[in-house]
Structure 1
Amino acid sequence: MPHYIYGFLMSMVLAYLTTPFVMKLAWKIGAIDVPKDARRVHKKPMPRLGGLAIYISFMVTGLLILPLELPYVRGIFLGGSIIVILGILDDIYNLPAKVKLLGQLAAAGVLVLFGVKVEILTNPLGGMIILGKLAIPATLFWVVGITNTLNFIDGLDGLAAGIAAIAAFTMMLVNLSLEQANGALVMALLAGAAIGFLPYNFNPAKIFMGDTGSMFLGFILAAQAMEGMVKSATVIALIVPILALGLPIFDTVYAILRRFVHGKPIMQADKGHVHHRLIAIGLSQKQAVLFMYVISISLGICSVILAMLGVRQALIAFALLAFMLLLSARHINTTLEAKKTTHGM
């Protein structure tokens, strides 16, 4: 059995078995999400330390089967551990945004110290872009940015865990196509951990992953995407992680622009995220999450086709999938309007 399949299964089972113990721990230490405002969709207090189960399963499996002699592996282990400690403290004490940012920068800085940084980027129009002195700032920006995209989108039961699993599985397939075995293995472990946690987190959730989980998932995805760019100096290595994480990236960029236009702090939470808007038009939590899964899977399919077949085939697939999604959205809208009319009568 290939290592990545073995690692995926082991990580998934371990996350599934560990989560109930983490639930008890969350209640014991007070890592509880109490719905104090209208932005929150849940109506009762919920434990929110679930990311600890994801972290434990990833780390234990990783320590057993990942090549620990690689600085890159040690970097994601140490940086990921800093992120998890930060997340646990935030899940218990609700840390200020500035403190969280400093912690994320410290974790990203660990990656740089272990040699994980992007110094050269492929120019999609041809040639290479040498970052020079901008390499470290660009690396910090990428890692902190992607770490927060998963954090921002974690607003419905099962949403962040499912999207992270889809992105990790996509990047695993692409790493395999590029013959990057270690990268494929890291993504297999992450996908397994997220999927093993999902039965407890999907609606109706028994536990939230909290910032412990969303930041850890985002951090590992960002680190692996960056390592892929370093190992494969191609346009594919640049575009694939952006496509695979397209939905959370779009949601985060839109949130930042929206808050900037309205003169609000960038880190101030609101109900303008994509998942909030889907709920507002009448979708249930499950329907909204599944619809966003479909979008992420579609982008993932385009990523894999791009890596394995080429740009032309990827564009054709993107056009077909976009058309199907538009038809689905139109059908959903028509159905919801019909329900409103029926209830109105």
Structure 2
Amino acid sequence: MFFLSLLGSFILTRLVRDFATARGWVAVPTQERHLHKNPLPRLGGVAIFVSFSLSLGTAYLLALHNPRLHSLSLKALLIVVVPASLVFLLGVYDDIYGAGPYFKFGIQGVAATMLFIGGLRIVNIPVLFGQHTLPWFVGLPITVLWVLAITNAFNLIDGLDGLAAGSALFSTLVAFVVALLSGQPLIAGMTLALAGAILGFLKFNFNPATIFLGDSGSLFIGFLLSALALQGAQKAPTIVAVAIPVVSFGLPILETALSVIRRFIAGRPVFTADREHIHHKLLQHGMTHRQVVILLYGVSAIFALLSLFLLWPTGSSLGLVLAVLGVGIWIGVQHLGYLEFGELARVAQRTLDQRQIFINNLAIRRATEELKVARDYEQIRRILVAAFGSNDFDAFGLSVKLQPGESLALDSGPGRKSELSFHWHKPGRPKSLEGLSVWTLTLDLASSSNCQRGSLAVHRLYSSRDLQIDVNLLTSAFPTTLADALDRTLAHTAQIIPLPEQDSGLITAQAG
């Protein structure tokens, strides 16, 4: 079956390519997300579907005359092939005329329901429901969701020459091994036929491609693999039935999950196409088209090998697979540099930092209350040092305008001063911030009586760490309260009053 399908696909792909080109059924690179430069035919799925079907048909005819092949039941074949053919026709229509996402989901949903009616369904989910069999009204939507997710996942990664077909080939080989070891000859035969069809097509689809897989191919392959996973689940142990397909489809599932999550985070429609897929990000990192495809082939191979570890499920093997997957996906996503996930990580970190933000906010609120009862200028300075010494600011400078008749004994000296200044820096920080990269927030100090009392400038060295304080607390009541405190304390501070020139003494009077 494999070699027949391989040969048929190799011959048919060339014929389909030439026919589609002659009819003008080509993909024209009109959008920025398109990576090809010249128009190329899109109906590569036709060659895969026809060669797969011919191979299955030939195998069935041989089975009629060979008792050892009686396991190829016509009914079992039709349960999978008929809805898969419907999805294939949907893909052909989309390749030629174009179809909207909801129309495509609708047809795929009908095909998935046909699988469910035929007995290919998800009957339990041990992780969520234990070993209890799901009622049909629960199993049906879960089955449809599974089929739609896998079908469109392979469609989603079809963005580089040979990527979707190559990734599907690895998943198909895993399905073949599992079917062979679990004694399911029908699935083994179908996966062999599919693998041969994909491999024959890849000769023309690998970079530089002369034909695209198209929706006729990606939707058909994705649907068929999801259906074969359901069929294999009917006889396989639970861990094999559930975990192995999920892991073996790792790359398309990961791409789908990332696309949905990042578009949701960014507030964009989930079905909107963009240039933010995994392969796009790798190209942006300077890799060539072919290097990206080979790298992602390697990723698909790793997913395939990890899924085969689960053929002999033990606590240690399952833990190893989950650990490798978790670490690998985390490192990979970090390396890709998605802005959406960077922002999500920042928000998550800020959530973890809420306790420190609470402490810093409380320090500003406490300072605001203490300023309302401050008795003198020295106490105001102590309050400010205590408030800013416990938060993320590195320095501050207080500049106070003195009103006529105001002065301070502690600032006395030659001449009369019109302004007071006080500078503070956090221990361990440079005394002078000149020449350093800092940002500054300057607060104008206007009292409740609209008296301008100067300004307070708070400084912070640039850092990758977020500012852990609510800046609104500094820009609302705090400046006015500080200005009122300066008004009140300076008006009641001892003044220095010069006597007539003949008297060299000083009389200290309390302003009242």
**Do they fold alike, i.e. is TM over 0.5?**
yes
Q: Residues 289 and 184 (structure 1 numbering): CA distance in 2 closer, same or farther, change over 3 Å? A: same
Q: 2:114 is matched with which residue: 98, 110, 114?
A: 110
Q: Does 1:273 align with 2:277?
A: yes
Which TM-score applies when normalising by structure 1?
0.87
The CA deviation at 1:325 is: 10
Task: State the partner residue of 2:57.
Answer: 63
Q: Residues 109 and 328 (structure 1 numbering): CA distance in 2 closer, same or farther, change over 3 Å? A: closer
Aligned partners of 1:32 and 1:45 also within 8 Å: yes
What letter matches 2:45 in structure 1?
G
The CA deviation at 1:131 is: 1.8
Residues 86-235 of structure 1 aligned to structure 2 (within 5 Å): 86-121=90-125, 123-124=126-127, 127-132=130-135, 133-235=137-239
The CA deviation at 1:36 is: 0.6
Q: Does 1:305 align with 2:309?
A: yes
What letter matches 2:57 in structure 1?
L
Task: State the partner residue of 2:48.
Answer: 54
Task: State the partner residue of 2:5.
Answer: 11
What letter matches 2:190 in structure 1?
V
Aligned partners of 2:239 and 2:313 also within 8 Å: no
Aligned partners of 1:47 and 1:207 also within 8 Å: yes
Q: Residues 257 and 125 (structure 1 numbering): CA distance in 2 closer, same or farther, change over 3 Å? A: closer
The CA deviation at 1:27 is: 1.7
C-alpha distance in 2, partners of 1:327/1:264? 25
Task: State the partner residue of 1:262.
Answer: 266
CA deviation map 1:105-134 (0-9, x unaligned): 12212212322222233x148941422121
Task: State the partner residue of 1:81.
Answer: 85
Larger Rg: 2
The CA deviation at 1:266 is: 1.4
Q: Does 1:238 align with 2:232?
A: no
The CA deviation at 1:313 is: 3.8
Deviates more, 1:163-172 or 1:124-133: 124-133
The CA deviation at 1:320 is: 7.1
Name the one with the larger helix percent: 1
What letter matches 2:288 in structure 1?
S
C-alpha distance in 2, partners of 1:131/1:125? 11
What letter matches 2:246 in structure 1?
I
Task: State the partner residue of 2:475.
Answer: none
Q: Does 1:40 align with 2:44?
A: no
Structural RMSD (CA): 2.6
Aligned partners of 2:112 and 2:147 also within 8 Å: yes
CA deviation map 1:199-253 (0-9, x unaligned): 1000000000100000000000000111112222421210000000011101101
Q: Residues 325 and 124 (structure 1 numbering): CA distance in 2 closer, same or farther, change over 3 Å? A: closer
What letter matches 1:145 in structure 2?
A
Which TM-score applies when normalising by structure 2?
0.60
C-alpha distance in 2, partners of 1:33/1:158? 16
C-alpha distance in 1, partners of 2:139/2:28? 41
C-alpha distance in 2, partners of 1:124/1:325? 22
The CA deviation at 1:191 is: 1.2
Aligned partners of 1:84 and 1:216 also within 8 Å: yes
The CA deviation at 1:25 is: 2.1
Mark the runs of 5 or more structure 2 residues left unpaired by the alignment.
61-70, 335-512
The CA deviation at 1:315 is: 4.7
Task: State the partner residue of 2:288.
Answer: 284
C-alpha distance in 1, partners of 2:91/2:15? 18
Identity of aligned residues (%): 36
The CA deviation at 1:322 is: 8.7
